[in-house]
A and B are shown apart, each in its own frame.
Chain A
Amino acid sequence: MSKLIMFHGRECPHCQVMMPLVDRLEKEEGIKIDRKEVWHNEKNADLMRSYRDIIEPKCGGQLRTPSFMNTETNDILCGELEYDKLKEWATR
């Protein structure tokens, strides 16, 4: 499993906006971001919930999608982001 995770929802519009940026980032930087859908996959949902204490304080007190998590540093970003901000999170 990559240390970088994107928790997303199939019917979440913010996630749809971010998907092409994640594709681009993986291609340009040669990194892997694990995409974990949480509304149709209970295992992924449980994984996201297991990081609740880390994600919620950075995401308005909720488990919002999309949430980007670095499991080594616990760096979190959520919502729709500029490409550069996402890149900075992924390559930090």
Chain B
Amino acid sequence: MKRYWRCHVCNDIHYGIKPPEICPTCNFKNAYVEISSAEAKKIQSGETEMDKEKFRQAIGKFAEKNEFQVNPNQEKVNMLIDGIFSCEENHWMKYCPCRLITKDFDEDLKLVCPCNFLIHETYKDKEDGECWCGLFVRRKNE
């Protein structure tokens, strides 16, 4: 089961089965201690803005070093980002606009965008692979 961990040096929070050996922020070794979800929430309560433009930049950066890229079709991307943000407005999380949530929170975490689309049959082993919605497409070899 996943739990929360806090770096005792720089207060980075990690959520996972085990903490990283080296803190990615301060590079300290064996720095993580387990904490409760309430503590994690308090530490993370500082507001950070994520508007559509910032999200667009974030997914672009996320794709940068990967075998996929954000779909060059701007119109499609704009529509999908609108959908992702309206899901967040109505259902608290940036859920996929092309799949409906089940209302089982753990199950629905699989639908938070970007999801693990590398396993989608629309992407895996496909030269023209794309995530189910087409927000991400496999990068073409230049």
Is B76 within 8 A of A63, CB to CB? no
B134: A residues at CB distance < 8 A? 13-14
Least Cβ–Cβ distance between A54 and chain B, in angstroms: 14
Is A13 within 8 A of B98, CB to CB? yes
In the complex, the chain A residue whose C-beta lies closest to that of B79 is: A11
Q: Which of A13, A16, A40, A65 contacts B99 (CB 8 A)?
A: A65
Is B102 within 8 A of A9, CB to CB? no
| Chain A residues touching B, range | 20 to 34
Per-residue contact bits, chain A 13-45, to B (CB 8 Å; 1 contact, 0 not): 111100000000000000000000011100001
B90: A residues at CB distance < 8 A? 39-40
Least Cβ–Cβ distance between B92 and chain A, in angstroms: 14
A63: B residues at CB distance < 8 A? 99-102
B97: A residues at CB distance < 8 A? 9-12, 39
| A-B complex: 8 closest residue pairs judged by Cβ atoms | A11-B83, A63-B100, A11-B97, A12-B98, A62-B99, A38-B100, A64-B99, A11-B82
Chain A contacts to B: CB under 8 angstroms: 7, 9-16, 38-40, 45, 48-49, 52, 60, 62-65
| 19 A-B contact pairs sorted by A residue (CB < 8 Å) | A7-B100, A10-B86, A10-B97, A11-B79, A11-B86, A13-B79, A14-B133, A14-B134, A15-B98, A39-B83, A39-B86, A39-B87, A39-B97, A48-B100, A49-B103, A60-B132, A62-B111, A63-B102, A65-B98
